[in-house]
Every structure is written in C-alpha cells, then in structure tokens.
Structure 1
C-alpha cells in the first residue's frame, strides 16, 4: 500500500498542481480585496449623504432661527401690513329734506375720470372723439389740447354720473381709469345754498347746516372704533375677508334731517328778491320768512348766492349767510320794538299822545324827521304811521336812560341767539356807561340808529311782537325724522317772555295801521289785515361817520294781524336810483312774498275785499 504514497505526494507537488493551487489561493485573496473595497466605498457614500442631510438640517435650522428668532418681529410686522389694513368705511351723511319731505341734499356715487395718453391703444384724436360723446358740451379740440398736456394722469372730470361712467366702461380700453367716490349732491342747486351750505371734496361740511349740524348729519355707528377706523384682513388676492368686518359696520339708520323750510316758498322768495335786486342794482339783499309761533324759518334767501354743487367756482365771501353773520343799523324797523318797551314800562299807553315836532336838538345834535315836517301832537298810532323820529325821542325820553338800557340788554341785542346756522354775528350795543352818559344815545336808539343787529335778530324781535311777547330761537332744523316721518330727535328751542302780551298785541294793531294809513301802504293786500313797518337807515362810511348816499332799505310785516303768525322781513343793501326808501324798495318784495304765503298755506281772507 505504501507504493502509492510517493505518487500521490508527487502529484500534489507537481508544478501544474502548484500553479492551480497558487492560482486558487491568489484568486481568493484578490476577490476579498474587491469586496472590501466596495464596502468601503458604500460607507463613504452613506457618510456623504448623511453629511449632506445633516448639513441641510443645520442650515435649515439656522435659517429658521434667523427668520423666527433674529428677524421674527420684522417679518411679523411685514406680514401684518400685507394681510391687514385699516379701513375707514364710507358712511354716507344723512339726507336733508325740506318741510314737504323733498330731498334737498343727499350723497350720490360719482366717478373721477383719468386718461393716461402714454398707455392708450388708440390715437389721442380718437380718444378725444370718444370723450365728446360723454361730454357733449365740449368739442374735440378741447380734449386734444388737454390730452397733450402730459403723458399720464390727465384729469378729465371729477364728477361723472353712473350713466357717463357706463359709457366709459364700454370702451374697454387701456389707459383709461375710473375712480369711484361719493359726493354731496344738491338737487335744487342754488335754491337753498344759504341754508344748506356745502360739503367739500373730503366730505366735510364747510358752510350752512352742513357745517353747523355735522353731529346730526354724520351717522353715529355702534362703536367709536367703527366711527374712526376698521381693521380688516385681506386674502392673497387683496380682497377683504368679510368675517373680519366688525359687527354693525354696515348698519345704518334711516333718519333724515328735516327742515322747517318750504322749498316752494323759498323759490318764490328768491325769484322775487332777484328781480328787485336787478331793478335797483343793489349790493346785496335778504328775505326771511319766520313762523312767529314756533320760531321755524320757512324761507331764507340771500343774494347774490352760489351753487353748492360747484362751490369751487364762487367767491368765498358768498359762503356766509349775511342775514345771520352781518350786522346793520335797523333804522325805523326798530321803532315797534321801542314802542313795546315803552308800553311795558307804562310811560305811554296805546291811546297816548306824543310830541312830533319837525326837528329837535339833543346834546347839540339836530335830529329831524325824514319828511322834514312835524304834526305837533299826535297819537302814538299816528306817530307810527308817519314813522316820526322826533315822536320816538319824546316817547323814550319818558324813561330813565338806565332803565331803557336794561330793557335793550334783556332783548339780547349783543348776544348770540343760539341759531342752528353757523357763524352767527353779534349785535352792537354800547356800554352802559357810554349809553347813559348823554341823552343823544337814547335819542338815536329810539329810531333804530346807534345800535346794530343782524337781520335774523330783527326778525326774532318782531316774532316776539307777533306771538304775544315770547322771544323764540329762530331755527331751520325741525329734527331727525325716520322713514315714516316721525320725529326722533328734536332741537333745543329756547323761549323767553320779553314783552307783556298786551303790549305786543297793541303794537301789532299799530303796525296794521301803518299799512292801512301810513308808510307801509305798498304792502297792502285786499282782504287781509297786515301789519308792517318801513326802515331806511344810513350806513357808516367806515370812518366813524354816516355816508351821505349809502343806505339800507328794509320792510318788516306781521301777517295776518287778526291771528298773527308770520313775520316777513326784506333787507336790501345800497340800492341805486331814485326814491330809495323801505316803502319803495323793500315793501313790494314783502307784499309778493305774503301773496305766495297765502297761496301755499291756504290763508283765508280777514274780511271781504272792498273790490268785491
């Protein structure tokens, strides 16, 4: 068996077998190296991926730290600015209606039209032709010239109506901008300008009731925050999110501001005043119609006036109501007031007789009647008929200076009445020391000179004569009314007894005689008992003296005298021409206004006319 060992041993040690063995051994060694290399490369890849992920997380963490911690407040504020904004909601002013519930002031939607020539998709000539279709009162050349003034932002109009805006929208052109806004609109144009005033481009009242009654015209919403600013949120498209609107922001009441003014009477008054102003080429004029029983002003017209829809075209001086703001010396229209004082004080009675010389001298000053004549001794009523200055001096000198001054003060001549119209003027009454120092002050005051007041104050005083002695605050606001016409808010109206009822009634009868038998005959209307008083006062020349030519003519009436209700006052400043007196210039205006009152109010005659 041993003979096989050498062969096997030799076979194992043969060169070929050694080569195969060596090859096998080497092959296992080389293959293991490749496997190990691949594993190492995999680990490197994994490490790199891990490193990238970790680095990304670190960078992301740092970025988040930077955004949220370091710059968090800055970006939060930017986000708030983008997502939220303060909105002042448009809250329309309340409408104003007249005594007959006709709308005389309201808010309406209008548009501003801008053209940007640099962005137009058609020629300027073509655009001008389109604009003429919207504004037929203008021509193509006007618009061509306007559009060539600048490349962008050419303002065409600030007040397009909805119909005009619809035409513009139908063009669907680039370079055309319509901006929506609200504006105050006065359907009657100039008719009530002296009462209403106007609202400017910022929707703020600047004159008349729009200014003085802003607290009633501006709606009071449910909270101060809503009345001021509302904070809302927007979505990504910039649209307001409705859920962010506070409750009640769109809840408006249905109240309107109702006036005592009757637009029908107002038109008749203004038209008649204009005719007289043109005839006498007067500087200015005013007519007031007052309900003496309530203090309500039924008509109030001043000339010249303005259109509140286009207030920017007028002189600023026209925006004040001069019958409320300006004072003047009333002249003889103040005589009935003085007679009422004298009757109250008991220095005369309705049947008294007084002295009426042609002229008297007081403290060295000669004072004469306008007629330059006197009637000697006349009744108190006859003294009123002829408007005697010297008779009035005789009456008032029967009182002490001090007491007369106290009675004038009690009338509130140098105090505000508390009107609901703005910029009320204050009358002038000299100090008690000056007034009581000499007789001349009492003398000139007895016939309405030496003191001043506004036309509205004079109307109030005559209202007190008409209503039995009660001084009632004149007003144009009746109150806030709802859609059913029920008054919800009443104005505060003061009432003070300043004359005895018997004295006031006696003066009314004397004024009736003035129209029937005296200087007020121009105001007579057949069938009606009318009281009146003329006034022709000199004007100061601005240098402490009276002008030789300038005068103010006036006439005041109480109508009807058998049941006194209405006071009509006309004042016309500096008329030109001949025969310039209250009886010739102002009385005819008052007469026609009373005729309008008769027609509109259905006032029955006092008696059967002599013509019938």
Structure 2
C-alpha cells in the first residue's frame, strides 16, 4: 500500500541567541607574515633585553654605593647623646656634683591601651588618668585636664625620679612614653657653690668650675648608629667600634668637705654676730698651692639657684680687690731683708707719727713705741716703724719687687674669674714719696684675698711662688690622685723667709688675747684692720678685718686667711672679728691632717678635746 507523501514544509530559520555572534562559514586561508615584520619584532625584543641588562649593570655596578647608602639610611637608627657630665669629688672622694637620671612623661591618647585589651581598643583619657594619679601623686582631674582633647604629644610631668619611672613602666599602659634626661645634682648643697657653680635649667654652665672646666666635665659621648632588620632586630655589625665606649672619669678637687664645712659655719656665725657684709676663709698647702678650703658667706644653693640673687654666683675672694693693710707688713719686711736694707737684729724708732710730702701718717692708736725691733713692729703693727723700715729700700727697687711678686698680675690659678691687682705705675710710685710710704703698711695698692694667700704661702715655703689651685685633674673610677710635690718660682732667699716666720710666731706667742695659741703647736700670724676704699676714695667707717696664720712654724705647711668685710659695731679689729674664725679652722686642720705637735710634752688633754670639738662642729 502506497504511503501518502509528506506535506511540504518551508525551511526553518536558524535560531540565534542574544549576545552571541553568528558563525560564519567562510574559511580564511593562512598567509605567511612578511619577513620584515618578524625582524622588527625580534629587534624590539632584543633591544628590551639589552636595555634591561644595561639597567641591571648600572644599578649593581655604578649606582650601587648610592643605593646602599639609601638603604642604610632607612635601616639605621641614630641615637644622639644626652649630654652627661662627669662627676666632681673632693680630695677624699666625697661627691660634690653628679648627674642623676630624670624622666619626662609624654602621653599619646590615640594609642591608650591597657594590658589584656583588644589591640584595636583605645582607652579614654580619664581611665588612664585614674591609674596615673596614684603613681604621680597628682589629682585625676588635673591629669585629665592636661590631656584635654589632644591626641598625641602631651607632656604630663617632668623631673620624674627613677623609682617613679619604674612604677610607671610596671603599669604597661600603651601610649605613655618616658623620655630620660640627666639632671645635675649637688649633694653638698651650698658648701661648694662658690667654687663649683651650677648648670641652669637648659644645662648651660653659669658659674664656677662648671663653666671654666666645661670641656673637661663633658663626658666622652658619640652619636650611636645601629642598623636594624626589617622586623626591627638590631644588627650587631651596624655598630661602629667605640660607639658603646663611655668614660668613668671624675674631676677631683683639692678641697676637703669637712674643713670647708667648719670654715663656712664659723664664717656664718661671725658675719651674723658682727652684722658684716660678707666674709671669706681660705686654706692653702704652702708646699704645692693646693687649696684645702675656700668658703665664703653669704652663699647659695646650686640645686635651687633661681631663688637667689645673681650677685652671689661669683666668688668675691678671687675677683674683688681690697687694700690688705697690716697683713701685708710681713711680706714687705721680707722684701727689705732680701734687699739687705734692714738686718734681722735691726731696730727702728717709732715716735707715733710722721709727715711724708705733707701727708700725716699715724699709728692706729696714735701712740709711739720708741726704739723697737722688727718682731715688735709686727706685734704692735706700727705704721710709722714700717714706713721708716721700708724707707731704707730704694723706691725703684720697692716698686720692682711689688711687680715681681705679681701684685699687678693675674695669679696663675684654675680658680674661675681670678683677676690681677692694682699697683701704681712705676713713674708715679717713684716720683711721689707718699706712694711707697702708704705701701709700706699695705695701702695704696690692692689685690685679692687669693693673691695675699699666695704671697703668704711664699713666706711659708721658703720663698717659692706656687700656683693656688682647687683641682687635681681627672681620675678614673674610685681612684684618687696622690698629693703632688712642691714647685713654683723661687723668689726670696729661704733664710729671709725663716726670719720673717719667726717674727710672725712672736705675734701669736706674745698675744694671749688673740686666741690663736694651741699648746704644743708653733703658730705664726698677723692681724689686719684696713680702711675700705671704693674708686680711690676711703669709705667713712667701712673697714676690712683680716687674719693670716701659718702652721707649724718649725715645718711650715698650711696658711689660713680669713677676711671679714664691713663688720659693724665697736671693737671691730682683725683680732676680734677674723682671728676667732681662723682659730676654729686651725683646730680642725690639726685634727683632720693629723699634725704632730712641735712639743708633745706641752699638749694638754683640754687642748686636744677642744680641737676635736671644733672638727665636729
């Protein structure tokens, strides 16, 4: 059976999908690329490789030092020195000045975080202030007000001691930063202020040895450069040789804190008693020029220098001039002996007054002493006898000697601010008879107490002009320098100085009212009471009283000088105002230096107890 034919259907259009291109049934025949295009691509690739190789060669060979320095700059941390200073100690190693570490506390509120907190958590300033209040001993409200709304760099407190800093670190609060810095401390307070000086709040030296020996007191410190790795780990090879070196040198003084304390207390008591303007006491080892004490009153506390008048920051016994008066008479007699103008057993007639070039000259009591020897001249402190004795010395030679011993020259000393004295010029001194006349009893020229001490040391040590000094130099660790030997320029004949020392011993031996005698010890001395001059004019009623002592006379070693400026009241003389201070210093000196008596049999138990008591006071 035949099948019916299928109905005719029109062709179906090809289905297309949106976004999909229709396939083309056309085939493109492959064609070879032109040779010049292949060469161009090859050339470009070759040029790129050559350029890269050249760049690598440039970086690694030619520009390598520059890249290394830039890398080191990023990797290296520089730690600048904080400017520590060396310690100062006295002759026995007692601390006089030292640097102590202090801290400044900085707060950065944006990073506040407590131990155990989520690292992303930021604590409020009031929460941190509450924990800091007890440690810093400040109210919480004050600390919170200081921080305010600031996010970083808030200075909360300075001058924090190491113990408080340790307690702050134990809080482990993120966002707190302790910045260390050195602070100069003077443990002895005012005891050495007049010679050591101080640093201001910016650590700039302002006076004394701190200023004059500034370069010596700065410690050896260098900027520390340390390389760190990417994670901050220090790299040892980045530390240069010597970077961690630090010296332990200390500046040792010749001063003795114990003797200095005795001198300062005795001065303070006497200044108060006599309502004096000021006073100074100086003790020198005549053999080598070492100063064992240099005290002055009034003084100040270098730890609180801002509370005192700036006028106290200078040591007047080194910088201010005065006319020495009778304490210069032994020196003049030594010059006359050296010139052979007088003889050790010579005498001079003292009639109580005389006139020189129309100018009257009197003794202090306006009384004559008749024909007297030179020990008596010093005991009576006769001005008239001194003028007649020194009149035997040619004026030109007299002036030459005053210049030779350095009246008008600055002393060779390490004491800061020392100045030269004033002496009339040679022509004036020679042509005016009154000039050598008043110079004979210590007036008409001026010097510092330090210079007078140096000249009396010259009498004590056999005629050598030694340099007064208060430092022995830098010493390492706890080592102390030994006492140096003698030195100095030989100026006078030792025989001459021994004669004058004997004369000065008679002053003490024959004056019980002076109060300087110590049984068993041979002591020499001379008082002085001089008018005070200002700008060439004597101030009515203003006096400078002084006393200079030598001991022991049989083997002279120590010279003690006390000067009291403008004591008030009646009976103000060197013997009543200055000598009592010198006695206390001499008592302490005998004990501290363990001076053996010249005559052990004459030493009494009472005398020894008195000396020991003076040392304890």
TM-score (norm 1): 0.79
Partners of 2:204 and 2:487 in 1: how far apart?
29
1:306-455 pair list within 5 angstroms: 306-455=300-449
| 2:450 is aligned with 1:456 | yes
2:294 maps to which of 286, 300, 312: 300
1:517 maps to which of 494, 510, 519: 510
Quick one: structure 1 residues 414 and 244, their matched pair in 2 at CA, closer, same or farther if it must change by over 3 Å?
farther
Deviations 1:575-602 (A, max 9, x none): 2232221111111000000111112122
Partner of 1:111: 103
| 2:521 is aligned with 1:498 | no
Quick one: structure 1 residues 434 and 84, their matched pair in 2 at CA, closer, same or farther if it must change by over 3 Å?
farther
Quick one: structure 1 residues 216 and 144, their matched pair in 2 at CA, closer, same or farther if it must change by over 3 Å?
closer
| 2:460 is aligned with 1:466 | yes
Partner of 1:530: 523
1:94 maps to which of 69, 72, 86: 86
| Bigger shift: residues 290-299 or 416-425 | 416-425
Quick one: structure 1 residues 230 and 179, their matched pair in 2 at CA, closer, same or farther if it must change by over 3 Å?
closer
Give the superposition deviation at 1:316.
Answer: 2.6
Give the superposition deviation at 1:134.
Answer: 4.3
Partner of 1:179: 179
Partners of 1:326 and 1:461 in 2: how far apart?
17
Larger Rg: 1 or 2? 1
On the 8 A contact 2:520/2:598 being kept in 1, the answer is yes
- Paired residue total: 554
1:586 maps to which of 569, 578, 584: 578
Give the superposition deviation at 1:311.
Answer: 3.0
| Bigger shift: residues 507-516 or 122-131 | 122-131
TM-score (norm 2): 0.78
Partners of 2:101 and 2:586 in 1: how far apart?
39
Give the superposition deviation at 1:335.
Answer: 1.0
Partners of 2:80 and 2:314 in 1: how far apart?
31
| 2:307 is aligned with 1:291 | no
Cα RMSD (Å) of the superposition? 4.0
SS at match of 1:301: strand
Partner of 1:190: 190
Quick one: structure 1 residues 239 and 575, their matched pair in 2 at CA, closer, same or farther if it must change by over 3 Å?
farther
Specify every segment of 5 or more residues in structure 2 that has no aligned partner in the other structure, as ranges: 1-7, 12-21, 32-40, 113-122, 608-617
SS at match of 1:529: coil
| 2:471 is aligned with 1:477 | yes
On the 8 A contact 2:347/2:372 being kept in 1, the answer is yes
1:541-560 pair list within 5 angstroms: 541-542=534-535, 544-560=536-552
Give the superposition deviation at 1:529.
Answer: 1.7
| 2:595 is aligned with 1:603 | yes
Partners of 1:492 and 1:293 in 2: how far apart?
7
Partners of 1:231 and 1:464 in 2: how far apart?
54
Quick one: structure 1 residues 365 and 146, their matched pair in 2 at CA, closer, same or farther if it must change by over 3 Å?
farther
Partners of 2:322 and 2:577 in 1: how far apart?
17
Specify every segment of 5 or more residues in structure 1 that has no aligned partner in the other structure, as ranges: 1-15, 20-29, 41-49, 221-226
